[in-house]
Amino acid sequence: MSPRRASKEQPKESKNLGSRFAFKLSPKAQREILGIIFFLAGALALLTLLRVTRGTVGDLVANLLHALCGWGAYALPFLAFGAGVFLLRRGDDAATEIAWGRIFSGEVLFAVALALMHLLAAPTDPGAFAQRGEGGGFIGWALASAATYFLGVTPGIVVLIILGLLTLPALVGFSTAHLRAWSNTLAERAEHPERATPAPIKLPAPPRPKPDLTSLRREPAAPKTQPTINPPSVPAEPERAPAPASGARPTLGTKPPMKTATASQTILTPRNRARRKAPALPALDILDIASEAKYGETDANRKARLIEETLANFGIPAKVIEIHAGPTVTQFGLEPGFIERRGSDGQMRPRKVSVNRIAALQHDLELALAVAPIRIETPVPGKPIVGIEVPNQSVSVVSLRGVMEADAFKNKRKKNPLTIALGRDVSGASSVADLGSMPHLLIAGATGSGKSVCINAIIACLLFDNSPDDLRLIMVDPKRVELVNFNDIPHLLGPVVVNMEEVVPCLRWLTREMDNRFTLFAKEKVRNIDAFNEKMNKTNGDTMPYIVALIDELADLMLASPEETEKLLTRLAQMARATGIHLVIATQRPSVDVVTGLIKANFPSRISFAVTSSVDSRVVLDTMGAEKLLGKGDMLYMASDSSKLMRLQGCFVSDDELARLVHFWRDKAITDLRDIARDAPWKDVSNAKEGSDDDLIERAIGIVRQSDRTSISFLQRKLGIGYPRAARLMDQLEERGVVGADEGGGKSRGVLIQDKGAKHFDAADAPPTRPDSAAQKSNTLTRFADKFKARVKSK
């Protein structure tokens, strides 16, 4: 018997021993460990979604969450935070029971929200929309597709909303029992006002099923709680208060609502702090990946052999030693050979072939290669070779994403927030620049050569790397075609300027902003915006954003008000660099009356696309070459720190990519509760400009009264003002009855009120009403007749 009993009891002992070591942790420790795991998982998910930390695993998790939940992926980290905080703040005596009903209700509500987001976004292609990680992701797409397939769009939305509202009571733990208890409490308070204090003790009715599970363990505690609740007398209140704290009902009925409230408060604060410290910028996934064409090596070798043979036929020995295939052209590095020539001593000596002889054979090379035009660079900067640039048969598209993902762009972006992608050179290498060091950029080219695409690429680079707190934009688009699509981004200081009347006030406001910044720099004893922001970061002050003004057509501005525009642009270009204000100006008519000498001298960085003549190329680049470009993004770039031209193929960004970028910033502005600028700050400047003529009207009247006749040019010379302002003053003088009407033919106007001794104008001297033209003409004729009679008498 004993051996059998021993053999039967031995497994029980080993089982008890294993369970003793396996479940040695207390329930509190288990809850804390689980809460920490939830909290860490939420933090890692938030960092990967905000792209703060990058890696293979992080990108995989972020892409998976975006694909499944779309925009709802950003809510998952905060739900994990809430679960972690809830588990960490549970009491020692709290029962760790999982509310599966509430969890299921929350999941259903989350799925309904994803479906509604996908439906309300109304994408043209819901599947591709979900594949990009937008809307409600694949979960929202599946539910939305099912709802619209069986019910239709509008009934499906209504059913989803009703389903979400039905899950809310189960999620928050509210039922009809709560409603009846609340109504009974209000009725009892109305009937017995003296029982207003003990009435809240009747509310622990909802968690009745939970005490039934714990009452088996706490049977002795039940008799203590029931006698204390029954007596309604007031003296029993102090003795009854501590009893529910130790019992099961008060803890189950009061603590869960308090924990959910504190958890919701602790979720919002880290999100706001994270947004201020590291603003979420758009990912490069918004842009498309363009398949760049590969240039054939066999074709390059054939053309190199043709170049050598053509030059040899004209008696010029040369050899192609380098071949650089670019997206638009291929550059052949040609090394000139030697020619035997007789020297002064009569002996034959080898001499280098002149570079001018190679450049003179440009048309012969075009004929031999059957391409046009060919550009010859003599010499290639930094190399003892001649560069012959031959157009490719198939032009490859340079994607903006490819240049922004290059190491050159990433390294430059770490130091300069205003880094822009220009394109790829003739060797296929990425070319980037810093707008802050340019500091201003002039873009010129014929219609359809790629100016607007270049401006869009510059704007896209700035929007990818800067938040509205770091960068503000001013856009001027008189053509109303290209830049008006950016009206919804929060970076704009005001709506895109399309009226010519607002351009000069806009530039005048920008000049005042520059002066105000200089005043602030002098007060803080700093030199530029970088030093100012660095000082503000140390003292927790408000930093100053950069301002980039983009003007799509300079010719329209110069035609409307040339003197004012040239003066303001010149002053901004000379002084605005230190204040963080930069200009990007484009024009399709690079003539000397548009790109004047003052403007060109203050814009050292210039880009020229294909132009119609060598004269236009000289206006922009001070040299020929732009007339030989191929168009469609082919450009010559002259940097501010180099006089050599660089041939590039500009970056291409499509309208769909720009629409997605604008959509991202518009949604983020709504999420961050940021207002999009609807009123321009320079509207007050335009109103003040109209009233500023009142200061000159008195001086103009005093000057006009000292002469018999006057004109607009006369006012310009005497007051030192421009033509538009002098013309407005002349109209005001005519309205006040000081001068006569315009007689036409460029004649000067007669002065109706003359007082050669007066220097100031009294309003009482002017007639109350404007005289009619007949009276003015009669007065003029009378004076003319008197003068004629006086001359006749004198003779």
What is the pLDDT at residue 11? 44
Compute the average pLDDT of residues 751-756: 69
Helical (H) or strand (E) element with 647: strand 645-650
| β-bridge partners, 634 | 649
**Closest by CA position to 226, among listed 210, 204, 257, 254:** 204
pTM for this structure? 0.55
Output the CA–CA distances (angstroms, integers) from residue 314 to 11, 32, 303, 476, in the order listed.
104, 88, 17, 53
- Decide if pLDDT at 249 tops 50: no
Q: Which two tokens stand for residue 756?
A: 């050669």
Count Cβ atoms below 10 Å from residue 110 Cβ, excluding itself.
Answer: 20
CB burial class (10 A; 0-12, 13-18, 19+) of residue 491?
buried
Does pLDDT of 752 surpass 90?
A: no
Q: Which of 52-61, 118-127, 174-183, 337-346 has the highest mean pLDDT?
A: 337-346
**Which residue's structure tokens are 């501010």?**
640
Buried b (16+ CB within 10 A) or exposed e, 469-484: ebbbbbbbbbeeebbe
* 282 or 219, higher pLDDT: 282
| Segment 278-299 mean pLDDT | 73
Confidence of residue 232 (pLDDT cuts 50, 70, 90): very low
Tell me, what's the pLDDT at 4?
44
557: pLDDT strictly greater than 80: yes
What pLDDT is attached to residue 710? 87
CA angle 61, 67, 73 (to 5 degrees): 70
Is the pLDDT at 116 greater than 90? The verdict is: no
CATH dotted code for 692-794:
1.10.10.10
- Are 495 and 677 contacting, i.e. CB atoms less than 8 angstroms apart? yes
Least confident of 37-51, 195-209, 291-305, 354-368: 195-209
Are the C-beta atoms of 171 and 106 separated by less than 8 Å?
Answer: yes
Lowest mean pLDDT of 393-402, 600-609, 648-657, name the range: 393-402
Average pLDDT over residues 272-297: 66
Q: How confident is the model at residue 244 (pLDDT cuts 50, 70, 90)?
A: very low
Q: From CA 749, how far away is CA 152, in angstroms rounded?
A: 75
- The SS3 assignment for 641 reads coil
Structure tokens at 560: 């409307």
CATH 3.90.580.10 for the 297-391 domain, yes or no: no
Q: Does 599 or 102 have the greater pLDDT score?
A: 599
Q: What angle do CA 235, 240, 245 make, to 5 degrees?
A: 155
Digit-coded pLDDT (tens) for 62-81? 777 777 787 777 787 887 77
Q: What share of the chain is helix, strand, coil (3-state, %, to 5)?
A: 55, 10, 35
Contact 311, 361 (CB under 8 A): yes
Mean pLDDT score, 192-205? 43
Task: Specify the range with the lowest mean pLDDT, choosing from 181-185, 231-235, 334-338.
Answer: 231-235
722: tokens are 């421009």
Quick one: how far is CA 738 from the chain centroid? Answer: 53
User: Do 105 and 95 form a contact (C-beta atoms < 8 A)?
Assistant: no
pLDDT value for 535: 92
CATH 3.90.550.10 fits 417-671, yes or no: no
684-705 confidence digits (pLDDT tens): 665 444 444 566 788 888 888 8
Both tokens of 783, joined, read 């004076």
Q: What is the pLDDT of residue 182?
A: 62
* CA dihedral sign of residues 574, 576, 578, 582: negative
Range name among 181-185, 338-342, 441-445, 486-490 with the lowest pLDDT average: 181-185
The CA-CA-CA angle for residues 45, 463, 444, to 5°, reads 155
Q: What's the CA gap between 519 and 74, in Å, rounded?
A: 43
Instruction: Write the pLDDT tens digit of every residue in 133-154.
Output: 777 777 877 887 787 777 777 8
Average pLDDT over residues 104-118: 76
In eight-state DSSP terms, residue 492 is: B
In Å, how far from its chain's centre is CA 428? 28
Residue 441 CB neighbour total at 10 angstroms? 25
Poorest-pLDDT segment among 11-20, 302-311, 552-561: 11-20
pLDDT above 60: residue 436: yes
Q: How confident is the model at residue 571 (pLDDT cuts 50, 70, 90)?
A: very high
Beta-ladder partners of 331: 324, 389
Q: Are 416 and 401 in contact (CB under 8 A)?
A: no
The whole-angstrom separation of Cα 794 and Cα 786 is 12
